[in-house]
A and B are shown apart, each in its own frame.
Chain A
Amino acid sequence: ILNVEQSPQSLHVQEGDSTNFTCSFPSSNFYALHWYRWETAKSPEALFVMTLNGDEKKKGRISATLNTKEGYSYLYIKGSQPEDSATYLCASISSGSARQLTFGSGTQLTVLP
């Protein structure tokens, strides 16, 4: 079983602050990395699918980077808003694991107005 770690476990920021969190994953046999946002009372929704070392993806105020050689990905939120409050999950796919996702335990973000 892959070990996917996310930090911090939870985070409180003020509205307007920028923030970032980390996802670390085994770098051997890397196939893809997914980021999901899970708002309370809703289903997880995909933010990014990243596959290549050095990938940078952006969606509005949210962006992500990927380093497959050292096994980490950062998620950045610029100018956090209360509606960004959610749990952010990362999940790694290894080519040796029947191509299934292994999830981290998530970072719970609360943006205070």
Chain B
Amino acid sequence: DGGITQSPKYLFRKEGQNVTLSCEQNLNHDAMYWYRQDPGQGLRLIYYSQIVNDFQKGDIAEGYSVSREKKESFPLTVTSAQKNPTAFYLCASTRGGRNEQFFGPGTRLTVL
């Protein structure tokens, strides 16, 4: 089945540690996205990539980094510079343009 996978589902880290969240898709989509959700807020865009080896900052990129070495993969690193990293993180992909986005199951990160 085609889809998007994110791992792990739950992640706990100590303050000051970097952590990398995985996102893989087998939909052959060019564009991939990382969103963050906090209680009572909409999804906010962290980073996006429209093609391999290229990515752009979204609205809340500070304290995060990404790479796009393969079409299928778009990992997100939450660095120690992110002031409030505890949140729910969603990865998505799309064929592009006006087309709908397909979402992964999400990773809930808790920084202790």
Using a CB–CB cutoff of 8 Å, the interface residues on chain A facing chain B are 1, 4, 9, 31-32, 34, 36, 42-46, 49, 51, 89, 91, 93, 98-106
Q: Which of B94-112 contact A (CB under 8 A)?
A: 97-106
- Per a CB cutoff under 8 Å, which of B41, B56, B101, B104 touches A101? B101
Write out the residue numbers on chain A whose beta carbons fall within 8 Å of the beta carbon of B102.
43, 46
Give the complex CA separation of A93 and B100 in angstroms.
11
Supply 5 further A-B pairs (C-beta < 8 A) apart from A46-B100, A93-B98, A103-B43. Answer: A31-B98, A46-B102, A49-B100, A89-B42, A91-B42
Known A43-B105, A100-B58; contact A49-B42, beta-carbon cutoff 8 A:
no
Tell me if B58 and A49 are in contact (CB < 8 A). Answer: no
Tell me if A1 and B101 are in contact (CB < 8 A). Answer: no
Give the complex CA separation of A51 and B41 in angstroms.
25
Give the complex CA separation of A91 and B35 in angstroms.
13
Tell me if A105 and B104 are in contact (CB < 8 A). Answer: no
Using a CB–CB cutoff of 8 Å, the interface residues on chain B facing chain A are 4, 33, 35, 40-45, 48, 56, 58-59, 90, 97-106
Chain A residue with the shortest CB-CB distance to B43: A103
Tell me if B98 and A103 are in contact (CB < 8 A). Answer: no
- Per a CB cutoff under 8 Å, which of B43, B48, B99 touches A49? B99
Known A43-B103, A49-B98, A99-B97; contact A105-B90, beta-carbon cutoff 8 A:
no
Write out the residue numbers on chain B whose beta carbons fall within 8 Å of the beta carbon of A43.
4, 90, 102-106
Write out the residue numbers on chain B whose beta carbons fall within 8 Å of the beta carbon of A44.
90, 101, 103
Give the complex CA separation of A86 and B29 in angstroms.
27
Tell me if B58 and A105 are in contact (CB < 8 A). Answer: no
Q: How far is the CB of A28 from chain B (nearest CB, A)?
A: 17
Write out the residue numbers on chain A whose beta carbons fall within 8 Å of the beta carbon of B59.
1
Give the complex CA separation of A51 and B106 in angstroms.
28
